[in-house]
Amino acid sequence: MSQPTHLAGLYAGVEESAGLIDVVCSRDTVQNILTAYEDVLPQALVAFRVATNARHEGEFDCRFTVPKDVDPYVRARAHGLVTETGHPAESLLADVEQRCVVDLYGVDFGVVGGFRKIWVYFPPGQSQSLSTLAAIPSMPRSLAENIGFFADRGIEDKADLIAIDYHSKTVNLYFTDLPEGLCTPRSVLEMHRAIGLPDPSEQMFRFCEKAFGFYATFSWESPAIQRIAFSVKTKDPLSLPARLGPKIEKFVKTVPYGVDDPKMVYAAMTSSGEEYYKLQSYYRFRSRSRLDLMPSADRAADPA
């Protein structure tokens, strides 16, 4: 049976874009994922991601939105994209759905490593409190143990979305409605030191000053916050004070999709001191999507 035209076109776009950074798609892996969600892809926002850190070397990520009436984990399980082991991560999405109103989902996969992550967006204006999320039975206990970190910064009730990573067995919590001053160099330095991460570089401090939000990563294996990452939206990533490196620079300059659409750039620090950046570029952008409501570094720099 031939592949539907819209899937063939998307696969070609994924393959071409991955090739720009010398990553070769696993055809079966990518096509199995696209086939599992083929009914939602024509309307989906689709984005690509490139990262500079060693863990993502040789990989190229793709992500797309899924409407709230389609359970992305049930779909992934039905198509053999996940192998269940009894880990709490496998129950987390269902537990969140029972306790929180969901506005939208997303799916994230690597063209080499396959199905990786599910995103859960809460409705606009209905951010979740961390106490509610921490009470979910399958949530990492490290969240409950670190609520004070977020309360001290006035964002304990401002979680906008969750990402469940089934590959690394971690959870990201995203915050976009940040109090003024939270991304200043002093505050960013305090945040890193509070969770035992190395001090950022001066370049990263300047990058964070443009951030509209950040996310924190939790694990079931450790009581500590694993990582914090800061997010900037811009149409010109190469103008940012960031060491994007030759791989991302090449991708930005040569990718044929979404050239005029905004880009998302993330900056993070590993516990080993590796400072790295991730670029999210769009294959198919929806101008009325929730992402378009986020402040951009370009607009923030515009005196008008």
> Rounded to whole angstroms, how far apart are CA atoms 214 and 210?
11
> Rounded to whole angstroms, how far apart are CA atoms 159 and 95?
16
Tens of pLDDT, residues 219-237: 999 999 999 999 999 999 9
User: Confidence class of residue 185 from pLDDT cuts 50, 70 and 90?
Assistant: very high
Residue 301: inside a domain, yes or no? Answer: no
32, containing H or E segment? helix 27-36
> Rounded to whole angstroms, how far apart are CA atoms 164 and 174?
12
Going by C-alpha positions, the residue among 246, 242, 226, 225 that lies closest to residue 234 is: 242
Going by C-alpha positions, the residue among 171, 281, 289 that lies closest to residue 236 is: 281
What backbone phi and psi angles, to 5 degrees, belong to 100? -130, 150
Residue 303: inside a domain, yes or no? Answer: no
Tens of pLDDT, residues 19-54: 999 999 999 999 999 999 999 999 999 999 999 876
> Rounded to whole angstroms, how far apart are CA atoms 288 and 185?
32
Helix (H, G, I), strand (E, B) or coil at 95: helix
Residue 198: inside a domain, yes or no? Answer: yes
Residue 21: inside a domain, yes or no? Answer: yes
- Structural domains in the chain (count): 1
Q: Which domain holds residue 63?
A: 5-296
Residue 304: inside a domain, yes or no? Answer: no
User: Which pLDDT does position 294 carry in this prediction?
Assistant: 47
Residue 236: inside a domain, yes or no? Answer: yes
Largest CA distance in the chain: 59
Question: Residues near 134 by Cβ (< 8 Å), separated by ≥ 6?
Answer: 143, 144, 147
Residue 131: inside a domain, yes or no? Answer: yes
Give the residue-averaged pLDDT of 13-21.
Answer: 96
The model carries a pTM of: 0.92
| Per-residue buried b or exposed e for 248-270, using 16+ beta carbons within 10 Å of the residue's own CB | beebbeebebbeebbbbbbbbbe
User: Which pLDDT does position 289 carry in this prediction?
Assistant: 52
Going by C-alpha positions, the residue among 49, 139, 128, 27 that lies closest to residue 89 is: 139
CB 208 within 8 A of CB 185: yes
